[in-house]
């Protein structure tokens, strides 16, 4: 049974930083791409960042490019989302997801396991 457990969310002022962590278990971590998505109130879930199984290829949404970085540690079965220069519009529930295969993808349908979500609130 695959489990994804997120941590590191919370309340931060605009311009601040947070790092989200997601620990995976249940199948070989390095065989699967990982992604972060987010959903703000009354908005659809959107792709934030993704990384390939080896960590060698990453993709970031235009809205976070240059501010957020996705990093994975295959020795620890963990993927991180480093968030800097946070803005109030980054406020959302953030979800970690594990891909159905090795590759990076922005499509939510290409991820078959999801974490429970963690709140990130950025105050102005």
Confidence of residue 14 (pLDDT cuts 50, 70, 90): very high
Q: What is the mean pLDDT of residues 31-51?
A: 97
Measured in Å, how far apart are the chain's first and last C-alpha atoms?
40
Q: What is the mean pLDDT of residues 117-122?
A: 98
The pLDDT value given to residue 95: 98
Total count of residues recorded for the chain: 124
Band of pLDDT at residue 99, cut at 50, 70 and 90:
very high
**Once rounded to an integer, what is the mean pLDDT over residues 39-52?**
97
Nearest to 119 by CA among 89, 95, 97, 92: 92
CA distance 7 to 116: 10
For the residues 11-26, what does the mean pLDDT come to?
98
pLDDT for 25: 97
What pLDDT band is residue 29 in, cutting at 50, 70 and 90? very high
SS3 42: coil
Residue at token pair 């999801």: 114
Report the C-alpha gap between 15 and 123 in whole angstroms: 9
Phi and psi at residue 81, to the nearest 5° = -125, 105
Q: Kindly give, in sequence order, each residue whose CB lies less than 8 Å from that of residue 23, ignoring residues fewer than 6 positions away.
A: 4, 5, 7, 76, 77, 78
């Amino acid at each position: 049974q695959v489990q994804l457990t997120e941590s590191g969310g919370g309340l931060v002022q605009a311009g601040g930083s947070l790092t989200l962590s997601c620990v995976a278990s249940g199948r070989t971590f390095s065989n699967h791409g990982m992604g972060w998505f987010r959903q703000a109130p009354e908005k659809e879930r959107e792709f934030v960042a993704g990384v390939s199984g080896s960590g060698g290829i990453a993709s970031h949404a235009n809205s976070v490019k240059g501010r957020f970085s996705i990093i994975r540690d295959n020795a620890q079965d963990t993927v991180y989302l480093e968030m800097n220069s946070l803005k109030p519009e980054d406020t959302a529930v953030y979800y970690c997801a594990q891909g159905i295969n090795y590759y990076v993808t922005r499509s939510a349908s290409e991820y078959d396991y999801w974490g429970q979500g963690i709140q990130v609130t950025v105050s102005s």
